[in-house]
A and B are shown apart, each in its own frame.
Chain A
Amino acid sequence: MGELFGLIAWGPTGWGDEIAAGAWLTIRLAVVTLPFGLLLGLAIALAKESSNSYLRAVGNVYTTVFRGLPELLTLFVIYNMVQIGANRLTQMIAPGSQFEISGFAAGVIALGVVFGAFASEVFLGAIRAIPKGQSEAGRSLGLSPWQTFRLVRLPQLWRLALPGLGNLWLVLLKDTSLVSVIALNDLLRQTQVAVGVTKEPFFFYLIACLIYLFFTLISQVGVNRLEAQANRGFAAR
C-alpha cells in the first residue's frame, strides 16, 4: 500500500504533479467552454423562438444534429475540421505559413458546440415558462423588444434555466474526458500515461475517478448555492 501512495508523490519520482496538471487542464477546459456554450445555447434558443421560420428551422436542425450524434464522434469531426479549416484559411491569407489551432481551442469549440445544442433546449423551456404577460408588460412600459428581453425576461430566465444548466455543467465536466482521446493532456490522459509507466491501472484509474467525483460533488454544492440565491424571494414550495 505504501508503495502505491509513493507513486502519487509530488515531484520527479511520483505522478502526483502530472495528474494534478491534468486535473487543472480538465477544469480549465470545462470553465472556458461554459460561457461559449451558454451564449451559443441562448442564441439557438432565441432562433427557435423567433417569428422567422427560417431561423427556427436552422435552430431545429442544429439541435437535432448535435443532440443526436455521439459526443465522441462530434468531438473528433469538429476537432479535425477546425484544424483543416484554420489551415486552409491561413493558406489563403498568407500562403506557405504554418498555423495550427491549439488542441485546447479546438477542444473548447467542439465541447461548446455540443453543450450549446443541449443548453438551447434548457433555455427554450425556460423562455416558454415565463408568462407572456411579462414581456407584454415590458412592451407596454415602452421598452424596446431588446430592452424587454434584456431587462425583463433574461433575469427571470436565469432562475428557471439554472437546474437544467447545472445538469449540463456536470455532463460537460465528464465529457472533457473524451478529449483525452484526441490530443489533450487532461486528467484522464495523464492517468493513462502514468499507467503506461507504472503498470498500476486499477490504482490510477480509481484515483482519476475519485478526482472526477470530487469535481462533481463540489459542482453540486455550487449549483445548489446558485439555485438558493436565484430562488430567494420565491416562497419554497
Chain B
Amino acid sequence: MTDLGATPPRVSPANPPAERGPFGLDKPLFDRLLVAAIILVLAAWIIPNINWRLVDRYWFRYLEGIAVTFQLVLISVGLGAALSLPLALARLSKRRWLTGIARGYITFFRGTPLLAQLFLLYYGVGQFNDAFEAIGLWWFFREPLYVAILTFTLNTAAYQAEIMRGAIGSLPKGQEEAAMALGMSRWPIFFKVILPQAYIVALRPLGNELILMIKGSAIASIVTVLDLMGITSLAYARSFNFQAFFWAAALYLIAVEAVRRLWDVLERRLTRHLALSH
C-alpha cells in the first residue's frame, strides 16, 4: 500500500461540524445566554422606569379600549364578509352593469384612504343632519362608533370581495360542472360546492385582512371613538406621559400575534384533508 500523503478530512454535507459560537461556547448555549442577557438588561432598564401611577389610573380603561377595538373589528369584518359575497358575485357576473357597479365600489373603497372615508361619512353625512333626522336615522349617524363600524364594514367588504373573487375564480371549472352533472341547481352549487372551497383558498388573505383591520381600527380614535388608541391618546393628553403609547404598542402587538397564531391553527385544522406532500 503506497502512502498517498495525508488526505484532507472529508466533511459530508449532511453532517456539518457543530457550530461554534464566540468564546468557544456551543452556539445554542451562547444564543440562549445572549437572549437571557438582553432580556435582563431590558428589564433592568424598563421596570424601574415604569410609571406605576399611569398604570394604576388607566389599566382598566385600556381593557375597555381593547373591548371596543375588538367590537369594532369583529362586527365590521363579520358584516363586511356578508357584504363581500354579493359584491364578489356581482364582480364575476356576466351582466355588464352589475360588474360596473361592483368594480366602481371596490375601486373607490380600495383606492382612497380609510381616514378620508371615515371623515366623508362622519362629518360629511353630519352636514345633512336635518334630512337624516326626518327619516329617523340621525341616532345612528350621530354616534362616532356606529359610523366607524359602518365605514370599516364598507371598506373591508371591498377588500374581502377582491379576495373572494380571486378565490372563486381559482377553483377548477370541473367542480361546478360535476355538481351540475349531479343535477344540483345554481344556489346549492354555490353554497355547498363553490363557497366552502373558496373559503379554504381565501383563508390566508382573509386572516391578513383581519389583522389589517385590527391595525386600521386605530383610525376610529380620530373621530373620538374610545378604542385602544383612543384611550391611549386620552391617557397621554391627561398625563403627558409618553409611556401611554408603549403600553398601547405592546397590547396591539399581543393582539395581532394572537390572531396570527390562532389563524395558523385554524388553517392547519381546516386543511387537514388536503394531505399535501410537505
Q: B-contacting residues of A (Cβ < 8 Å)?
A: 53, 64-65, 68-73, 76-77, 80, 170, 174-178, 180-181, 188, 191-192, 195, 199-203, 205-206, 208-209, 212-213, 216-217
Contact = CB atoms under 8 A, between A and B. Distances in A.
Contacts of B218: 70-73
Of all A-B residue pairs in the complex, the 7 with the closest CB atoms, nearest first, are A202-B124, A70-B218, A216-B111, A177-B113, A201-B123, A205-B120, A68-B256
Contact of B128 (A76, A202, A209): A202
A177 B249 CA distance: 21
A216 B112 contact: yes
B242 A80 contact: yes
Nearest to B214: A70
Contact of A201 (B107, B114, B127, B246): B127
B112 A209 contact: yes
A170 B114 CA distance: 13
B180 interface: no
A213 B249 contact: no
9 contacts: A64-B253, A68-B215, A69-B256, A73-B248, A73-B249, A174-B114, A175-B113, A195-B123, A205-B124
Interface in B2-51: 27, 31
Contacts of B257: 64, 68
Nearest to A210: B112
B242 to A, nearest CB: 7
B124 A212 contact: no
Contact of A202 (B127, B232, B242): B127
A69 B120 CA distance: 25
B116, B127, B128, B257: which has the most chain A beta carbons within 10 Å? Answer: B116
Given A68-B253, A68-B257, A73-B248, A206 B113 contact: no
Contacts of A188: 113, 115-116, 119
Contacts of B115: 177-178, 180-181, 188
Q: Is chain A's interface secondary structure helix, strand, loop, or mixed overall?
A: helix
Given A201-B127, A202-B125, A77 B113 contact: no
Given A64-B257, A71-B218, A212-B116, 17 more contacts: A68-B252, A68-B257, A72-B218, A181-B115, A188-B116, A188-B119, A192-B119, A200-B127, A201-B127, A205-B120, A206-B124, A209-B116, A209-B120, A212-B111, A213-B112, A216-B112, A217-B107
Nearest to A81: B242
Q: Is chain B's interface secondary structure helix, strand, loop, or mixed overall?
A: helix
Interface of B: 27, 31, 107-108, 110-117, 119-120, 123-128, 211, 214-219, 221-222, 229, 232, 242, 245-246, 248-249, 252-253, 256-257
Given A69-B252, A177-B116, A209-B112, A76 B216 contact: no
A76 B215 contact: no
B113, B218, B222: which has the most chain A beta carbons within 10 Å? Answer: B113
A232 to B, nearest CB: 26
Given A70-B216, A72-B219, A209-B108, A77 B249 contact: yes
A68 B222 CA distance: 20
Given A64-B257, A70-B229, A206-B120, A53 B31 contact: yes
A188 B113 CA distance: 10
Contacts of A205: 116, 119-120, 123-124
Nearest to B256: A68
A73 B245 contact: yes
B222 A181 contact: yes
Contacts of B111: 170, 212-213, 216-217
Contacts of A181: 115, 222
Given A69-B249, A77-B249, A213 B113 contact: no
Contacts of B117: 209
A200 B120 CA distance: 11
Contacts of B248: 73
A76 B124 contact: no
Nearest to B232: A73
A102 B203 CA distance: 43
A174 B245 contact: no
Contact of B252 (A70, A76, A202, A206): A70
Contacts of A201: 119-120, 123-124, 126-127
A34 B256 CA distance: 26
A195 B242 CA distance: 31
B94 to A, nearest CB: 25
